[in-house]
């Protein structure tokens, strides 16, 4: 990695059966896991897929929304980008830390550029309609940090183990420069 190259992070959570979404939102209801996410991305520039953006009640400034719709109307502080490379360049230009926050299609397109993936593994199966992209080769990325906590999951009323993993990609792809 070049010494001047800024870092790009991804963050997300996945159930033990690979599910990450249901009906346009998360398959589970674990407030502490959501609070962890919010703490991690506070003050960062975010790269967000259009569907995930539309599911969010609050979207911070310096959010870059990936969409092919040139006329997409967005909330103040948000900017449409036509692809993940354009979005990552714009997010890096803010000088803030950069987080890719999903959904699945944006993780699938952005992972080659990510230096780290902060992934919460929720050690229970959940019904879902969107899977974590199988092509992200996390099994080949060393785990740099790991911790775990048990939280109450509100839909099932059961306690679930959440493992907080920080993966580091050995050789992230350099972001192509704009033409």
**Residues engaged in binding ligand NAP (CB under 6 A):** 12-13, 20-21, 24-26, 49-52, 55, 66-69, 82-84, 101-106, 109, 130
At its nearest, how many Å lie between ligand NAP and the CB of residue 65? 8
Q: Give 69's contacts (C-beta < 8 A, 6+ positions apart).
A: 50, 80
Reading phi first (left if > 0) and then psi (alpha if -120 to 50, else beta), residue 32 is in alpha
C-beta of 95 vs 123, nearer to ligand NAP: 123
* Nearer residue to ligand NAP within complex by CB, 1 or 35: 35
Coil, strand, or helix at residue 95? coil
Shortest Cβ 4–ligand NAP spacing (Å): 26
Residue 110 Cβ, how far from ligand NAP at the closest point, in Å? 8
Q: Which residue is nearest to ligand NAP (CB)?
A: 103
CA-CA distances (angstroms) from residue 108 to 64, 123, 165?
A: 16, 22, 19
Query: How far out from the chain centre does Cα 154 lie?
Result: 22
């Amino acid at each position: 990695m070049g010494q001047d190259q800024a870092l790009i992070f991804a963050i997300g959570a996945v159930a033990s059966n690979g599910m990450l979404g249901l009906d346009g939102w998360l398959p589970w209801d674990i407030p502490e896991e959501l609070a962890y996410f919010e703490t991690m991305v506070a003050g960062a520039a975010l790269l967000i897929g259009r569907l995930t953006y539309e599911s969010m009640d609050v979207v911070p400034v310096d959010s870059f929304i990936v969409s092919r719709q040139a006329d997409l109307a967005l909330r103040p502080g948000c900017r449409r980008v036509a692809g993940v490379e354009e979005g990552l360049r714009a997010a890096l230009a803010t000088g803030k830390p950069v987080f890719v926050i999903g959904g699945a299609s944006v993780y699938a397109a952005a992972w080659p550029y990510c230096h780290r993936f902060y992934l919460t593994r929720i050690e229970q199966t959940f019904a879902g309609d969107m899977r974590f992209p199988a092509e992200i080769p996390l099994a080949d990325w060393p785990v740099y940090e790991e911790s775990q906590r048990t939280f109450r999951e509100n839909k099932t009323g059961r306690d679930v183990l959440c493992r907080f993993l920080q993966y580091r990609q050995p050789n992230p792809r350099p972001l192509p420069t704009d033409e």
